[in-house]
Amino acid sequence: MSRAMSATADHTFDAQQFRTVLGHFPTGVTVVSGMSGDQPVGFTIGSFTSVSLDPPLVGFLPMTDSATWAAMAKMGSFCVNVLSRDQADLCWKFAKSGNDADRYNDVDWHPGRTGSPIIDRAVAWIDCTVEEVFEMGDHYFVLGRVVALEADADHDGQGPFPLLFFKGTLGGFAADG
């Protein structure tokens, strides 16, 4: 194994290379939603992950300076909406800074058990209360306890194909074996 990087050595790359290389790891795309008072808020998040089955825990990593996270953190809950391939427009809409008030325009949703928005026709949704928040570099790791979840709720048996993100672009999933 290369020892080019150790805990004490300066790293051997710049921010651009870090982004480029990490962009070669494909992810699903979610909108993590919540409420700020009586206003729905949310942002596009690729860093969603399952953490534990017993107890049921999931997590995601928002930037420490995210206005959206600051707004939804107060309520202590969030819902992860896994986007379908037909929801690419939501991916960009919920990632654009400065349009917080407009993000839910033309988006159909209803409140989940925690009150967080469940977005219609998502591939799956996972409704959570915030269990713990860890600060890690320029991101938080938000650990959530799952209180309710559902997959393929309103696709009428039609395959809900997930939206994928790879090298800065969106695409779809094709089964291959």
Ligand X SMILES: Cc1cc2nc3c(=O)[nH]c(=O)nc-3n(C[C@H](O)[C@H](O)[C@H](O)COP(=O)(O)O)c2cc1C
State how far the Cα of 40 lies from the Cα of 36, in Å rounded to an integer.
6
Reading the block at residue 153, the tokens are 């709720």
Q: Does 84 bind ligand X (CB under 6 A)?
A: no
State which residue, 94 or 104, has the beta carbon closest to ligand X: 94
Binding of ligand X at residue 75 (CB under 6 A)?
Answer: no
**Residue 44 binds ligand X (CB under 6 A):** yes
What stretches of the chain show up as alpha helix (H) in DSSP? 15-22, 67-73, 88-93
Instruction: Please tell me the count of residues contacting ligand X according to CB under 6 A.
Output: 18
Q: To the nearest whole angstrom, how small is the minimum distance from the Cβ of residue 156 to ligand X? A: 27
CB 119 within 8 A of CB 111: no
Is the torsion defined by CA of 110, 114, 115, 116 positive or negative?
negative
Q: Does 36 interact with ligand X (rule: CB under 6 A)?
A: no
Which of 78, 105, 106, 81 is closest to 31 using CA atoms?
A: 81
Q: Give me the least distance between CB of 149 and ligand X, in Å please.
A: 19
Evaluated on CA atoms 24, 146, 161, 104, the torsion sign reads negative
Tell me: does residue 61 bind ligand X (CB under 6 A): yes
Q: Which stretch binds ligand X (CB under 6 A): 3-11, 66-74, 78-86, 120-128?
A: 66-74
Please report whether residue 23 would count as binding ligand X according to CB under 6 A.
Answer: no
DSSP code, position 73: H
Contact flag: residue 125 with ligand X (CB under 6 A): no
Q: Which of 2, 8, 12, 97 binds ligand X (CB under 6 A)?
A: 97
Report the residue number, 2 or 97, with the smaller CB distance to ligand X: 97
**Which is closer to ligand X, CB of 5 or CB of 167?**
167
Q: In the set 33, 34, 68, 109, which binds ligand X (CB under 6 A)?
A: 68
Q: What is the DSSP code string of 24-44? A: TS-EE-EEEEEEETTEEEEEE
Binding residues for ligand X (CB under 6 A): 29, 43-47, 61-63, 66-68, 91, 94-95, 97, 100, 165
